């Protein structure tokens, strides 16, 4: 049997073998994308191709750790209902033997081209990196064409995650990189045919400009035009926590500016974090046939605590965020859950006008494991307002400092940990709860907080509390499993 055939049959065996135990996990999510078994990380190759959304993902089927990654595959016609497909790429060739790492997809002449990083390591752990191409006529079966980009001399072998787009009759590729003097950078390449690529240089980071002192590696770059701006998303590694910022081990955010496709240059402003919660990394976007720019991110961060998640004993780990539509408002990227997610709502909405006066309140109708809660017309006079979810997560807002806080009980040692950001005002919150995840969209997506958390499975309660006067309007829907 070929290496590819062998790997596919091994994956099939482990999926079949672990199916029963995985479905018993009380923390298995109900409407988020997860791996059938093993570990999921970055979204890859996100594209709407011939009307169908394809979301590939970094997948380690054989354990809940990292390693020689596969490209797993989900497809959907509506961004809500997804089907798990056959594996798209297995790490079967010499140039990818330690992993078909992250990359992107683009359509050309009716075919789907995927670019990804072939990761190769020797016994001493020395790395080689190849930017590879695979082509598909149907979006499901891929023919590997092998490496199309060799490592340029300016970078170490930490050169990966190609994102490709077409602009002004050229193809462009951004690659996450580390320069030889160990600075995080985004490299730009150009091509006329997607087979031969020319390296044009560093367009962000590399020890220059506003990102001069900005970490040792940038992963998963994504450059796109949105509402008159060119937005460059990337995930820098090596930033020190400062004040409320950069609290996770690694960050994900963007700079905004102008990309000059003739010169292959990019002018940009300062870095801003995309999400303020505990678990958000390596986002990737695509445009769909409706012209929307849609983002998925990995709902985790690579860190030393990954193996502490309680889902490990059920042989799976991690999930994607919900798909979010991006908008630029006042030089800031807003994230809004895609409209289609309203299809998840089942039954009637529960609506209520709430007035709290130095009290705690619980509404029988506002509980559940898989729910959507919208708070509107929020008015917190002073003191603080809070909302607790199953006692394992809590949102707190204090208007005086303009401070918004998400607390959770650590899944490592139960200690309370926090993430915070400053707000000018708090008008509204849209919150998606799914068994062991929370996504909070503040003020129409101006800020988001994304996190895994693990409430006691029998505790479905949502409680509101106000130290002084708070008023808000609440809407709640149960969401379909």
| Active site positions, annotated | 42
CB of 11 to ligand FRU, least distance (A): 16
Q: Could you say which of 27, 31, 101, 197 contacts ligand FRU (CB under 6 A)? A: 101
Q: For residue 41, state whether it binds ligand FRU (rule: CB under 6 A).
A: yes
Q: Could you say which of 161, 230, 407, 446 contacts ligand FRU (CB under 6 A)? A: 161
Q: Which is nearer to ligand FRU, 132 or 202 (CB)?
A: 132
For ligand FRU, the binding residues in 141-160 under the rule CB under 6 A are 160
Q: For residue 58, state whether it binds ligand FRU (rule: CB under 6 A).
A: yes
CB of 432 to ligand FRU, least distance (A): 23
Q: Could you say which of 79, 204, 282, 479 contacts ligand FRU (CB under 6 A)? A: 282
Q: Which is nearer to ligand FRU, 58 or 335 (CB)?
A: 58
Q: Which is nearer to ligand FRU, 281 or 464 (CB)?
A: 281
CB of 184 to ligand FRU, least distance (A): 12
CB of 117 to ligand FRU, least distance (A): 5
For ligand FRU, the binding residues in 290-329 under the rule CB under 6 A are 302
Q: Which is nearer to ligand FRU, 274 or 373 (CB)?
A: 274
Q: For residue 90, state whether it binds ligand FRU (rule: CB under 6 A).
A: no
Q: Is-contact 293 325, C-beta < 8 A?
A: yes
Q: Which is nearer to ligand FRU, 92 or 370 (CB)?
A: 92
Q: Could you say which of 175, 204, 220, 256 contacts ligand FRU (CB under 6 A)? A: 220
Q: For residue 219, state whether it binds ligand FRU (rule: CB under 6 A).
A: yes
Q: For residue 42, state whether it binds ligand FRU (rule: CB under 6 A).
A: yes
CA 473, 428, 371, 388 torsion: positive or negative?
Answer: negative
Q: For residue 68, state whether it binds ligand FRU (rule: CB under 6 A).
A: no
CB of 181 to ligand FRU, least distance (A): 20
CB of 367 to ligand FRU, least distance (A): 35
Q: Which is nearer to ligand FRU, 118 or 257 (CB)?
A: 118
Q: Which is nearer to ligand FRU, 97 or 463 (CB)?
A: 97
- Where do contacts with ligand FRU occur on this chain (CB under 6 A)? 41-42, 58, 69, 101-102, 117, 160-161, 219-220, 281-282, 302
């Amino acid at each position: 049997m070929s290496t590819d055939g062998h790997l596919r049959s091994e994956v099939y065996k482990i999926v079949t073998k672990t199916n029963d135990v995985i479905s018993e996990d009380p923390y298995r999510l109900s409407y988020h994308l997860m791996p059938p078994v093993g570990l999921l990380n970055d979204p890859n190759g996100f594209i709407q191709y011939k009307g169908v959304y394809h979301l590939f993902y970094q997948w380690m089927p054989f354990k809940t750790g990292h390693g020689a990654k596969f490209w797993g595959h989900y497809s959907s016609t509506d961004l809500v209902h997804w089907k798990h497909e056959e594996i798209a790429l297995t790490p079967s060739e010499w140039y990818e033997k330690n992993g078909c790492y992250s990359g992107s997809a683009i359509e050309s002449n009716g075919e789907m081209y995927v670019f990804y990083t072939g990761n190769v390591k020797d016994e001493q752990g020395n790395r080689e990196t190849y930017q590879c191409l695979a082509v598909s006529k149907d979006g499901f079966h891929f023919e590997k064409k092998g490496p199309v980009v060799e490592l340029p001399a300016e970078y170490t072998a930490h050169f990966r995650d190609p994102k490709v787009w077409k602009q002004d009759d050229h193809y462009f590729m951004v690659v996450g990189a580390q320069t030889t003097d160990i600075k995080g950078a985004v490299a730009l390449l150009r091509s006329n045919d997607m087979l031969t690529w020319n390296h044009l240089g560093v367009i962000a980071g590399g020890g220059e400009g506003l990102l001069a002192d900005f970490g040792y590696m940038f992963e998963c770059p994504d450059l796109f035009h949105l509402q008159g701006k060119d937005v460059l998303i990337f995930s820098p590694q090596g930033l020190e926590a400062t004040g409320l910022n950069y609290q996770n081990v690694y960050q994900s955010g963007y700079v905004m500016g102008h990309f000059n496709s003739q010169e292959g240059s990019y002018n940009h402003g300062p870095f801003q974090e995309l999400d303020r919660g505990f678990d958000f990394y390596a986002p990737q976007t695509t445009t769909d046939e409706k012209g929307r720019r849609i983002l998925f991110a990995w709902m985790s961060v690579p860190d030393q605590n990954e193996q502490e998640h309680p889902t490990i004993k059920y042989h799976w780990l991690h999930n994607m965020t919900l798909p979010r539509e991006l908008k630029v408002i006042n030089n800031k990227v807003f994230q809004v859950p895609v409209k289609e997610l309203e299809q998840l709502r089942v039954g009637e909405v529960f609506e209520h006008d709430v007035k709290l006066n130095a009290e705690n309140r619980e509404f029988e109708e506002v509980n559940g494991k898989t729910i959507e809660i919208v708070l509107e017309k929020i008015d917190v006079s002073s003191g603080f307002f809070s909302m607790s979810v199953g006692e394992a997560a809590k949102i707190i807002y204090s208007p005086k400092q303009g401070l918004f806080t998400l607390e959770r009980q650590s899944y490592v040692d139960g200690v309370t940990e926090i993430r915070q950001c400053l707000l000018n005002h708090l008008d509204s919150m849209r919150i998606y709860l799914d068994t062991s995840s929370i996504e909070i969209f503040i003020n129409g997506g101006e800020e988001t907080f994304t996190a895994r958390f693990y409430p006691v499975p029998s505790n479905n309660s949502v409680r509101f509390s106000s130290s002084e006067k708070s008023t808000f309007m609440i809407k709640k829907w149960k969401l379909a499993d």
